[in-house]
Amino acid sequence: MPRTIAGRLAALVALLSISTLAVATAQRTFVSTAGSDANAGANCSIVLPCRGFAAAVGATTAGGEVIVLDSGGYGPVTINHSVTIEAPPGIYAGISVLSGTGVTVVAPGASVALRGLTITGLGGDVGIRLTDVAKVHIARCRIVGFTSHGVFQNAPGATSIVIEDTEVTDVGSVAFNLSASVASVDLIRVTALRTVDDAISASAVSSLTVRDAVLRDIGGSALYILLSAGGTTKTTLDSIDASRVVGPCVFVLSLSGGAAVRMTISRSILSECVSSGNTFESAIDSRANEGNTSDIAVNDVVIRGSGGDGIANSNNTGTRMAVSRSVIVGSVGFALHNGSSGIFYSRQDNTIRGNNGLETTGQTSGTITLLPPL
């Protein structure tokens, strides 16, 4: 009898050990409103799903995926290894955040993907916080109602951040805040509505692409680009629809010793920028310490109703700006303003009317070099 009991105990210990080992070895796990986090011991399988994201992520091996089976709320989660959280189209996967952060990523060297999530702040401060991660892909997400940021990347080291088909609404600071060095950032078909501060803020990003973005009712700048480290930043802004912006729609600031920017702004509509009426700012505003060499090309852009200038090189002798095939109308200040000895080209295929309180004369300030149409 003792041997039988001992044998049963040994078998039970072995079984428990196997279950424990299985908790973090499933390549694919599942969550459901009918699930239970107690099913983490069964690896949150499709027949025994977990109830929340936290349990499912803990049961998923590095490089695996968590699949949402049905619509519901699945709770905040901290991610510490490579994983994908996927809600298929047509399924509502909610995260309600009463305090703190909805999704926290602290996964050095990892690749993380978040798709199809709705993250709602009910007292929380940040929707998605990227504290330490190598590669991030955020798609089809909606983030609303946070007291601070929608997406906040606050530590260096990331090599790639891609955000697409994602909306941030009603946040108390910046919608997309990329505040630490990143090799490459792509924001594709993103929307920011009703922010207290900037819509998109990027610091020390080596390569930045923003395409097909809608940025409206913004309390700071629509796009704020801070160049605070050496080297060259390549920036492409294409098909930007920005309106009702308190500050500049595009504000480029290079600090002493900051990077040079190679920027193209094209096929965009910037209306009612600098709505605060601060005539020291512009719809497109480049400011830098003397000696920072930058090239900014503006093509096929409509600027309407700027509360300051239309396009300005405020104070950098090293900046070369070129404007072509663009329309600038109704600015309180000048259409084109060169506030330094930098080079400012304007092609004669631009339409410039009704700026600086005048219809055709007095449209520019500083040295503007006219070039023939392309």
Alpha-carbon gap, residue 267 to 211, rounded angstroms: 10
Find where tokens 């279950």 sit: 19
Q: What is the mean pLDDT of residues 50-64?
A: 98
Would you state the structure tokens that stand for residue 239, as one six-digit string?
């098909």
Nearest to 102 by CA among 84, 83, 82, 78: 78
Counts for the chain of helices (H) and strands (E), in that order? 2, 30
Mean pLDDT of the chain: 89
Domain positions in the chain are 1-70, 77-371
Q: What is the pLDDT of residues 125-144, one digit of tens each?
A: 999 999 999 999 999 999 99
Q: What percent of the chain has pLDDT over 90?
A: 73
Q: What is the pLDDT of residues 247-277, one digit of tens each?
A: 999 998 876 566 678 899 999 999 999 987 7
Alpha-carbon gap, residue 146 to 192, rounded angstroms: 13
Q: Over 60: is that where the pLDDT of 334 sits?
A: yes
Alpha-carbon gap, residue 354 to 358, rounded angstroms: 5
- Classify domain 77-371 by CATH architecture: 3 Solenoid (2.160)
Q: Is the dihedral of CA 112, 117, 121, 122 positive or negative?
A: negative
Give the max Cα distance, the chain.
106
pTM: 0.90
Whole-angstrom CA distances from 72 to 59, 88, 150, 291, 351 are 20, 13, 21, 55, 52
Q: What is the pLDDT of residues 180-239, one digit of tens each?
A: 677 889 999 999 999 999 999 988 788 899 999 999 999 999 999 887 655 667 899 999
